[in-house]
Amino acid sequence: MNGSKTLSTAALAMALGLAAMLDAGAVSPPTYPGDSIYLLKVALTDQHGTPVALDRYAGHPTVVSMFYGSCPHICPMLVASTARLQRELPEAQRDRMKVLFVSFDPGDTPALLGEVLEKQGIDSKGWTLARTSADEVRLVAATLGIRYKQLPDGSFSHATILTLLDPQGRPLARTERFTDPEPEFRAALAAATAR
């Protein structure tokens, strides 16, 4: 039994290796579940100018959304409300919650993204505000179910939705009431960070 098991394991490994070879240039390696947002491969740059991937906080519960740097009202509110959600968690759980916001605006610079956090007095540890190309913005938005369009004056008209991801990148909860999320969303966040 043992021998044949080893053999079939080796066979499986070879088959997988072959599959991986055939898969060259594939969208993503099969490391996440099929409904994980982390399957989307996009090249992000964070507020420090560091290249990062969508799954940079894999392994942690993460709150994701989209915004843009020059957005006058809603986006600062989004950042402030999310920081408040974090503060309202029991102290031991706060650091377990990560935040990843992707900008609609490919023109947002790391410096501008950093300022957004600074203005709100947010310690950027565990927070990522990221920019990417226009092409990838549309992919991220489609993946998160966030509708938006750029207006002729360069601003963006957009839905604002917070999504809580589990450590594998699967959506646990969503809210459109980001200034005052439903009890279900708060409960999901509390539970996810308690583990």
Partner 1 sequence: MRQPAFAIGAALLLSLAGTAGAAAPATRAVDIPGGRFTSVLPVAPGVYETVVPAYTLDATAVTNAQFLAFVSTRPEWRRGTAPALFADERYLERWAGPLALGERVAPDAPVTGVSWFAARAYCGAQGARLPRWIEWEFAAAADESRTDARADPAWRQRMLDWYGERGGRPLGAVGRDAASYYGTHDLAAGVWEWVEDSNALLVSSDNREQGDPDLMKFCGAGALTMQDREAYAVLMRIAMLSSLEARYTTRDLGFRCAGRKVTR
Q: Which positions touch partner 1 (CB under 8 A)?
A: 7-8, 11-12, 14-15, 18-19, 22-23, 25-28, 34-37, 39-40, 73-74, 138-139, 141-143, 145-149, 151-153, 155-161, 176-179
Minimum CB distance to partner 1 smaller for 111 or for 159: 159
Contact 174, 186 (CB under 8 A): no
Q: Is the distance from CB of 162 to CB of 175 less than 8 angstroms?
A: yes
- Quote the least distance from Cβ 64 to partner 1, whole Å: 14
Q: Are strands 98-103 and 44-45 parallel, antiparallel or unpaired?
A: unpaired
Closer CB to partner 1, 15 or 111, in the complex: 15
Nearer to partner 1, 50 or 157 (CB): 157
The answer to whether 182 and 50 are in contact (CB under 8 A) is no
**What CA–CA distances, in Å, run from 29 to 12, 19, 141?**
17, 11, 21
Least spacing, CB of residue 32 vs partner 1, in Å:
8
Instruction: Report the nearest approach of partner 1 to the CB of residue 49 (Å).
Output: 27
Q: Minimum Å distance from CB 126 to partner 1? A: 25
Q: 110-119 and 74-87 helices cross at what angle (nearest 10)?
A: 60
